[in-house]
Amino acid sequence: SKSTALPLDNGIVYTSDGTQVLLSVNVNAPTEVDAVPAEVTAGIGLMRSEFAVMSLGDAANEEKQFAIYRHLLEWADGRPVTIRMLDVGGDKPLPGITETSSLRGIRLLLARPQIARVQARALLRAAVFGNLRIMLPMVTFPSEVDDMRQICREEAGELRRRGVPHRTPPIGMMVEVPAAALMLDEFNGADFFSFGTNDLTQYLVASARDEAGFSLERERAVPAVLRLLTQAVKLAGGRPVSICGDMAGDPVATPGLLAAGIRHFSVAPARLGAIRSALVGLNADGTKAAGD
Ligand code: PEP
Ligand code: MG
């Protein structure tokens, strides 16, 4: 039978012509990592904290959040772990919060800073246990990054006063709103970027990702998405860039993403093998390897 075991290469893959590409994993439920050896990954490229916090049933429980983030950092054993702050609103409800607001992602966090502050403290405390990166969801304007940075700074001060060990990790952002993608060079407050093609696509084609017919629209939108990503990679000005939307886990999209200049893919654990195979059979410009 065909072996599905992945090489213990730390998610470092080389294209046919020798360009290095990183392969990380996306995590929804924190227990998902227990079935994946960290050695087959370059770390966690996206942890969707909203699912873990939703199942806690209490967004104000700092200790339980801290324990979840610490568990992921210990699993990763020094590899980067990118935890996205709560992305609720829209199609992701959070009881007690989304009933009374139509905002989503970072706008909701900034409108309800008490929730963001609890999460910021849990993250800053967990950061002591590994290589954490904080990622902000649904960012549209540069001031949103600056405002969340300020909240993290204030909570670091609070932890310092309490004598609680903590560290302030790099803070980056999802690029999943077209207005942000087009203006990436204006986001001086972001330490890194990750493309969220699920939301990026739905907002580019004026559709909804849970709408019947969206899969066809998504396919037809690929050239527009790739053109936007190509432009945005250039605007990132050398800051780290990755992709964590579902497009990253689709081998049909791999040539176009390589051609757009993307060198770090974060995919669901079940997609690691398929994307690894796609990458090794391609050149860095997305063309097929000779004799492949
Ligand atoms: C995305 O929008 O592509 C993304 C990765 O975020 P989510 O799917 O959680 O909205
Ligand atoms: Mg998204």
Q: Give the chain's mean pLDDT.
A: 95
pLDDT for the residue numbered 291: 76
Query: Tens digit of pLDDT for each residue in 45-56?
Result: 999 999 999 999
pLDDT band at 2 (very low <50, low <70, confident <90, very high): very low
pLDDT for the residue numbered 94: 87
Closest C-alpha to ligand 1, atom 4: 196
What ligand has the least distance to the C-alpha of 27? 1
Query: Is there a contact between 249 and 202 (Cβ–Cβ < 8 Å)?
Result: no
Distance 215 CA to ligand 1 centre (A): 15
pLDDT for the residue numbered 1: 38
Q: Which of 76-80, 92-96, 159-163 has the lowest average pLDDT?
A: 92-96
> Judging by beta carbons within 10 Å of its beta carbon (0-12, 13-18, 19+), is residue 214 exposed, middle or buried?
middle
Cα distance between residue 40 and residue 264, in whole Å: 14
pLDDT surpasses 50 at 28:
yes
DSSP state of 288: B
Distance 291 CA to ligand 1 centre (A): 36
pLDDT for the residue numbered 292: 65
The residues, ordered by sequence, that sit 6+ positions from 38 with a Cβ below 8 Å of its Cβ are 75, 76, 77, 79
pLDDT for the residue numbered 4: 62
Among residues 231, 136, 230, 242, which one has the least CA distance to residue 189?
136
Among residues 198, 171, 173, which one has the least CA distance to residue 183?
173
Q: Where are the alpha helices (DSSP H) in the chain?
A: 49-56, 62-76, 105-111, 113-126, 142-162, 178-182, 197-204, 214-235, 254-259, 272-280
Tell me the backbone φ, ψ of residue 131, rounded to 5 degrees: -105, 75
Name the pairing type of β-strands 20-27 and 12-14: antiparallel
Tokens of 21: 């590409």
pLDDT band at 5 (very low <50, low <70, confident <90, very high): confident
Neighbours of ion ligand 2 (CB under 5 A): 176, 196, 199
Percent above pLDDT 90 for the chain: 87
DSSP states along 235-264:
HTTTS-EEE-SGGGG-GGGHHHHHHTT--E
Percent above pLDDT 70 for the chain: 98
pLDDT for the residue numbered 90: 80
Query: Tens digit of pLDDT for each residue in 225-269?
Result: 999 999 999 999 999 999 999 999 999 999 999 999 999 999 999
Please work out, in degrees rounded to the nearest 5, the angle formed at the alpha carbon of residue 82 by the alpha carbons of 77 and 88.
Answer: 140
Distance 150 CA to ligand 1 centre (A): 25
pLDDT band at 210 (very low <50, low <70, confident <90, very high): confident
Of residues 98 and 69, more confidence is placed in 69
Among residues 5, 7, 150, 127, which one has the least CA distance to residue 76?
127
pLDDT surpasses 50 at 203:
yes
Q: What number is the average pLDDT over the span 111-130? A: 97
pLDDT band at 212 (very low <50, low <70, confident <90, very high): confident
Distance 70 CA to ligand 2 centre (A): 24
Closest C-alpha to ligand 1, atom 8: 198
Residues within 6 Å of ligand 1 by CB: 46, 48, 87, 176, 196-199, 244-245
DSSP state of 128: G
Of the CA atoms within 13 Å of residue 265, those in its CB half-sphere come to: 32
Which of 87, 104, 140 to mutate to test ligand 1, by most ligand atoms within 8 A of the CB atom?
87
pLDDT surpasses 60 at 223:
yes
Shortest-distance atom of ligand 1 to CA 198: 3
pLDDT for the residue numbered 97: 84
Distance 138 CA to ligand 2 centre (A): 7
Q: What number is the average pLDDT over the span 141-156? A: 98
Shortest-distance atom of ligand 1 to CA 50: 9
Among residues 187, 193, 215, 180, which one has the least CA distance to residue 266?
193
Closest C-alpha to ligand 1, atom 6: 196
pLDDT band at 209 (very low <50, low <70, confident <90, very high): confident
**ipTM of this model?**
0.99
What ligand has the least distance to the C-alpha of 248? 1
DSSP states along 87-99:
--BTTB--TTTGG
Tokens of 106: 């970072």
pLDDT for the residue numbered 152: 98
